[in-house]
Homo-oligomer: A and B are copies of this chain.
């Protein structure tokens, strides 16, 4: 049971004994030539030097019910499940996203799991890691410096500075940079224009990085990025500017997946991390495929709930390579189900069977959605200390009545290396071994608006979709530019099936409002914006950074 004892995640992480990363690599079947050490406990794996067969491992995708501010523990479950599968004798590897520095300095402490289900070294993974996000930041900002320099030096490409669709980025929560004016100071200082900064994980380069199948494919995709339009409204790409080579050069080391270990010693590739709203929210495809060459079962994760993360995994990532999941784990908590059943956030620790019974409607829709892709869901009930036996028993019975496999897991408190995830692992292993009939939700030759309608109706449960006037204009533009064959990447609140974050549970009789569409021609999808999407977070009144420090021995303090 998740007794939230007095130890912080950082303290638990620091008490753990790590094995040298060479040992982890050797046990995972990574030959020395393919391994490049970054300190003692981190390494990069070069897939081109890897003496391992073609990808064949089966994928377990960890997704979730609609998340709540209470936190459902998806990364913790991913780590704990993998540890439990390893404990049961399976050859397992984890594939996870890298944490972004901005939120670490802002709200939360880190993003490497929690309790006794963490990837290590948590402090180094959370702070700079092997520099991948810095490389993405550099490539993104090199592109924009080159674009603005092109305009300044005469603008041969006829770029319209008012129609730029690409921004500079920082891996920082910096509200003041959301809307800026650049190029001030007179004729020798640039060309003034309105601009803004996104956080690095929102960069299309991050999405490209995570969908590329190789360094050569990365170069191709970077070249296809549309960063703006000409005065005659034609798209201008990175290849038009001719700098895809330089951007690839800046990313050539970063594109190699990073190997670390869990507290229990399970190997994990932690690599890439695009936003889950305006991008697809999974670790790099290269990491997933590398893990599939090395392990029989790859446990990976997709951002937000199954309506967003899992759908995008299936319809975007799993179209590029054969990474379709053999099982989808849907993480649920009693707390979150009660919140979807109408309980306010500050009363979630009180027993409330009635609210639980109302809230499962949310979980049910997610489970049915997973089945629509031809894959069997497994419910992971992530246990918290406030859960009552009555609530847990009822939930297990409900799952059984729904015909869905389910298990209570306490990977936070007891760890997957302990017995916290044994039952979950057994059910997941069975699901992986069973046949499935995976298929995408929609064919690519469906018109873009029909793709959006299909997702909204089939997955969200909407009655229909309403397109704003700008969105309709954009649809015509997409048609004209030949981008209609791309899949859709929905940017919608993660808290609700609707585009209104306050409508919890499993709402019916609603319309999804698409206010704009953003073609991401490098990543290879069309983002459909429903509601406002924050691509540059701000810091709270008391940022986590205020508590961070180093102690006298140089050890980190204040990460959690």
Binding site for B on A (CB under 8 A): 36-40, 44, 48, 101, 105, 124, 127-128, 130-131, 134-135, 137-138, 141-142, 144-146, 148-149, 152-154, 168, 170-185, 189-191, 215-216, 219, 242-243, 245-246, 248-250, 252-254, 538-539, 541, 543, 545-546, 548-550, 552, 554, 556-558
Chain B: which residue is nearest A250 at the CB level? B127
B-chain residues with CB within 8 Å of residue A130 when the two chains form the complex = 131
B-chain residues with CB within 8 Å of residue A44 when the two chains form the complex = 39
With A38-B38, A128-B254, A252-B554 already in contact, 15 other A-B pairs whose C-beta atoms are closer than 8 Å: A38-B39, A131-B134, A141-B170, A142-B172, A145-B176, A168-B170, A179-B184, A179-B185, A180-B180, A181-B181, A215-B550, A215-B554, A245-B557, A246-B558, A252-B550
Question: Can you list 24 residue pairs at the A/B interface with Cβ under 8 Å?
Answer: A48-B554, A127-B253, A128-B131, A141-B172, A145-B173, A148-B174, A148-B176, A149-B539, A152-B538, A154-B541, A168-B177, A175-B190, A176-B182, A176-B191, A177-B182, A178-B185, A178-B190, A179-B185, A180-B183, A181-B184, A246-B545, A246-B558, A249-B548, A252-B554
Cβ–Cβ contact A543 & B149, under 8 A: yes
Cβ–Cβ contact A180 & B178, under 8 A: no
The 6 residue pairs across chains A and B that have the minimum distance between CB atoms:
A245-B549, A134-B134, A179-B185, A176-B190, A131-B131, A246-B545
Cβ–Cβ contact B249 & A549, under 8 A: yes
Interchain CA distance A208-B215 in the complex, whole Å: 37
State the Cβ distance, A161 to closest chain B Cβ, in Å. Answer: 10
Partner of A245, one of B189, B253, B538, B550: B550
Partner of A128, one of B37, B135, B145, B181: B135
State the Cβ distance, A284 to closest chain B Cβ, in Å. Answer: 16
Partner of A134, one of B128, B153, B173, B176: B128
